[in-house]
Amino acid sequence: MEKRRLAILTSGGDAPGMNAAIRSAALLALSHGLEVLGVRQGYVGLIAGDFVPLSRADVTGIVRDGGTLLGSARCLEFQTVAGRNAARARLAEAGITDLVVIGGNGSLTGARALTAPEELGEQVLRVAGVPASIDNDVGLSGLSIGVDTAMNTIVDACDKIADTASAHGRTFIVEVMGRDCGYLAMSAGVAAGADLVLFPEAGRSEEEIVEVVVSTISSARRRASPPKRVLVLKAEGVRISPERLKTSVEERLAALGQTGALVETRITVLGHIVRGGRPSAFDRVLAGRLGFVAVHALLAGESRVMAAWAGASAPPPGAHLSPGDPHCWVVTLDAVLAETQRLLDGTSPVVRWRNRVFAEIEGVLNPPA
């Protein structure tokens, strides 16, 4: 019988809940008699052969910890064939036959490249991905690990900002992470009751962005007496700096002769705060389930797949429902990465739908004069 040894790695930007995924993947594999190893620092550790045994004791109590027990890294060397050859050699030396990769777009791209048949040859190596990225930019998974915690962190910050903003009658621009995807800003914006969300997928020019902020402020000034506060949630991927946006908006309002409430603008950039902290209960459950589904897929002999959070819709081509969890799909990495590309270039129906919904929300929140 084939002796199986399973390794787990976390890679790319860490996300709250990664530890819960490590735990569930490790416990399930151990319970099936596999030896389990952790890889330190993502693909950097894979290339260096930096493996540590993972026992039940090692993963006990880690569900509540943010970050990742194994460490993470962004690894340029892994994008080269030489880097991947080195990683495959280390895996073969250590007798590792199965690998769980927990991470976002870059990490899953790495997992697919690592097991590309033309590079893998005769080596036995199965890989299963688990989507983890606060940006929620992994295709075909309704949610990635870390999104819910990040959203809660943003909403908590915005609630606090709303207190001081209302006390002074000010406008606040709050910038949140989301390099290429505005999902966090959008969902947190809805939950925080923001007046406007700026996200890259809308494709607005700098001038249009300034204009929509100005019209949101003007509309709030007309509506409320006295006007309380305006909250603008801006995704990092919207390529105008918050400082430049503030200056341009204030100048434009001055040119329109607007003074007083809501004209004075302040900026808060939440940055890496959004990525840290104890994972929410939902993220722990999601991570636990996805970790389970990934290992179940490997145990069933599948490879080059990802465990995905299904939501309510039917499995897309290249996916099947997990036999162990009716809310999760097992999707091929090819299908995941193709849809991820469409999310990033704006051609995915999901992006089109989000654009439509937010255009409608803007009209509802800030009706024209």
> Do 289 and 21 contact (CB within 8 A), yes or no?
no
**Binding status of residue 142 toward ligand F6P by CB under 6 A:** no
147 part of the interface to ligand F6P, by CB under 6 A: no
Query: Residue 164, SS3?
Result: helix
Q: Catalytic site residue 135? A: yes
Does 278 interact with ligand F6P (rule: CB under 6 A)? Answer: no
Distance CA 320, CA 362 (A): 37
Q: Which stretch binds ligand F6P (CB under 6 A): 2-10, 42-50, 83-91, 173-181?
A: 173-181
User: Is residue 100 a contact point for ligand F6P (CB under 6 A)?
Assistant: no
Judged by CB under 6 A, the stretch of 176-184, 193-201, 203-211, 276-284 that binds ligand F6P is: 176-184
Q: Which helix H or strand E contains 336, and what residues bound it?
A: helix 333-345
Whether residue 333 contacts residue 112, with contact meaning beta carbons closer than 8 Å, is answered with yes
Q: How far is the CB of 342 from ligand F6P (least distance, A)?
A: 19
Binding-site member from 134, 162, 293, 299 for ligand F6P (CB under 6 A)? 134
Region near ligand F6P per CB under 6 A, out of 117-125, 177-185, 213-221, 250-258? 177-185
240: Cα separation from own chain's centroid? 22
Q: Cβ 169 to ligand F6P, closest distance in Å? A: 31
Cα–Cα distance between 140 and 332 in angstroms, integer?
10
- Looking at residue 187, its amino acid is S
| Site for ligand F6P contains 145 (CB under 6 A) | no
> 55-73 burial, b for 16+ CB within 10 Å, e for fewer?
eeebbeeebebbbbbbbbb
Least distance from ligand F6P to the Cβ atom of residue 66, Å = 13
CA dist., res. 266 & res. 242, Å (int):
9
Binds ligand F6P (CB under 6 A): choice among 45, 106, 129, 178 = 178
Q: Considering Cα of 323, then 325, then 329, then 333, what sign does the dihedral take?
A: negative
129 binds ligand F6P (CB under 6 A): no
Q: Which of 135, 137, 195, 283 is catalytic?
A: 135
Residues annotated catalytic, as ranges: 135
Residues that bind ligand F6P in the complex, under the rule CB under 6 A:
13, 74, 133-135, 177-179, 236, 275
